[in-house]
Amino acid sequence: MTITKPKYLQIPSYFYWDHFGRDLDTPKNYGTDERVEIDPFDFEVYELLDDAAYYCDEFGPDAGDGGKLKRAALALIKAILKVRPEMAKATSCMRDLVRQRPNLVG
């Protein structure tokens, strides 16, 4: 039996649009404004994942939104790691986060 990976991956729109709005390298959205879908193999996923890990870090910034951005960042990381578990070691922020939260990697 062959397992096929989805071409596009749905991720939290809240974090995606925050990242995009800060003019950072962002993977193309193949979905809608409310339902963001990215290619998990797009090179710009590294930047998105690194940014999400920075926000999830226990010493990461507080966006002043009651933790909504941190929760969205964590959900984004979990979604990407389900499809690309090797990304857990992709950046220094991700390696630090995995050390803090080893349960992120299945």
Distance CA 22, CA 84 (A): 25
**Tokens linked to 8:** 């596009």
User: pLDDT per position in the chain (106 positions), as tens?
Assistant: 665 656 899 999 999 999 999 999 999 999 999 999 999 999 999 999 999 999 887 777 787 888 899 999 999 999 999 999 999 988 888 888 888 888 887 6
* pLDDT at residue 12, rounded to an integer: 95
* pLDDT at residue 106, rounded to an integer: 66
Q: Where are the domains of the chain?
A: 9-104
Half-sphere exposure of 55 (CA within 13 A, CB side): 25
| Residue whose C-alpha is closest to residue 27's, from 5, 11, 14 | 11
* pLDDT at residue 75, rounded to an integer: 95
Distance CA 64, CA 51 (A): 17
| Residue whose C-alpha is closest to residue 19's, from 67, 43, 52, 42 | 52
* pLDDT at residue 93, rounded to an integer: 85
* pLDDT at residue 6, rounded to an integer: 61
